[in-house]
Each structure stands twice: as structure tokens, then as C-alpha cells.
Copies of this chain bind each other. A is one copy, B any other.
Amino acid sequence: MTQTRIVEVRAGVLKKNDELARGLRTRFESAGAFVVNLVSSPGAGKTQLLERTLGELAAAGHRCAALVGDLETDNDARRLARSGVPVQQINTHGRCHLEADVIGEFVGAWDLANLDYLFIENVGNLVCPASYDLGEALRVALLSVTEGEDKPQKYPTMFNSADVALITKIDLAEACEFDRSAAHGAIHEVRPGMTILEVSARRGTGMSAWLDLLVARRDAWRNRS
């Protein structure tokens, strides 16, 4: 087993995924469904953010749905279902990321034309999900204040492939001695000019700016030439 052989197989998998993702993107665009792919470490707070986001967008009249990926358990789908929007759990059974083929299978259960927003909560992993396009319109990388300010430098591909960085659990910043300026600096070193928002889904801090961003990005996407 040579390293060259492994790299070739991996390149083949990525190429196939890219082709499937292009097809998905066309489907999402035709249907008018704005797809957001949430990526982060395990435990950065994707589910808590999404639970609150789905509830608030639905309350404002937006039609939402969510796909949530985990190796095992349907804990997250059950949490998200409390928001009242349609949710499906994807169990990857050992695979460390979601791929376009499985997204294609699961969205087949829904009429995409009835959705304004489709959120995909990826498997918690700061490495592999970066390489797999899911046909999303917006990729959001979460970084919690408890993780260490230099994570963007250690995992540059994830932050470089994302459109927006969301610093989560901001209510714990003081308890963690979080260095805000170092974290923003690390993100901008990897991706100069990247939009950074700070939120606490538990306390509600920063949620309105996050929701405004989602609405503005969807509007811009719908009016693209």
C-alpha cells in the first residue's frame, strides 16, 4: 500500500463528491432553498445554536428544515425537533464527515420548493468536513470560547473554506479567560476580512445579528445575477 495509491483514491472520492455537490447546488437553487452547512469541533455548540435559530426563524415566518449528522445516536434530531421544524438525523456509523451523496438521499424526502432555509449540522470534526462540498450556499465555522484561540491556525482548511466564523458560548468568555483579540487575529490570519460574529445561543447574546446575517445572505443569494 503506497502513499500515492491512497492519495489517488482520496482524490477520486473528492472528485465524485464535487460532482454530486454541483448537482445538489443546482437543485437547491432551482427550489429557492438556502442551504447552510455548520461545521466545528465536537461540542462547539452547533446543536444549541441551531435549536434556537430554527425556533426564531420559524417564529418569523421562515420555512426551515434541518439535517443533522452524527456517527451514532439520534440525540440531536430529537433536540432539534422541539423547534417544531422538520428534522432528519443522519448516522454515519464511523464516517467522520457528511458527503453529498447522503445529503442527496435525505433531501429526497422533502419538497425543497417549500423550504426557505435548510440547515445541515455536520459531524463534529475540524478536519475532514472541510474537504466535502455539500452543495451549500453558506458554510459557517463555529469556534467556541472554550477551545483555544489558535484553532484557526491549527485547522486552517476548515476556516479557510468557510464563509463566516461564529464564536460561540460567548457567555463563558470570562470564565475561560478568552482572548477575543487573539481569536479574531487567528481567524483573519487564515482568512483575511472574514465576517466574525459572537453569540451565546444559551443566553441569546448576538442572536439577532446572526439571524439578520442569514436573512441578508439569503436575500443576496436570491437576487444574484
The interface of chain A, by Cβ under 8 A from chain B, is 1, 5-6, 9, 12-13, 16, 41-43, 47, 70-73, 75, 94, 96, 123-128, 144, 146-148, 150-151, 153-157, 169, 172, 175-176
Contact = CB atoms under 8 A, between A and B. Distances in A.
B155 A42 contact: yes
Contact of A72 (B1, B148, B153): B153
Contacts of A169: 146
Number of copies: 2
B154 A172 contact: no
A75 B154 contact: yes
Contacts of A9: 1, 5-6, 9
B75 A96 contact: no
Contacts of A41: 41-43, 124
List the 9 shortest-distance A-B pairs measured between CB atoms, nearest first: A43-B147, A96-B127, A146-B146, A1-B12, A41-B42, A175-B175, A9-B9, A70-B154, A41-B41
Contact of A43 (B16, B148, B172, B175): B148
Most buried by B among A144, A146, A172: A146
Contact of A146 (B72, B96, B144, B154): B144
A128 B42 CA distance: 13
Given A1-B9, A71-B155, A124-B126, 17 more contacts: A1-B12, A5-B9, A41-B41, A42-B126, A42-B147, A42-B151, A47-B148, A71-B127, A71-B154, A71-B157, A73-B154, A75-B150, A123-B127, A125-B125, A127-B128, A144-B146, A172-B175
Nearest to A12: B1
A105 to B, nearest CB: 14
Contacts of A148: 42-43, 47
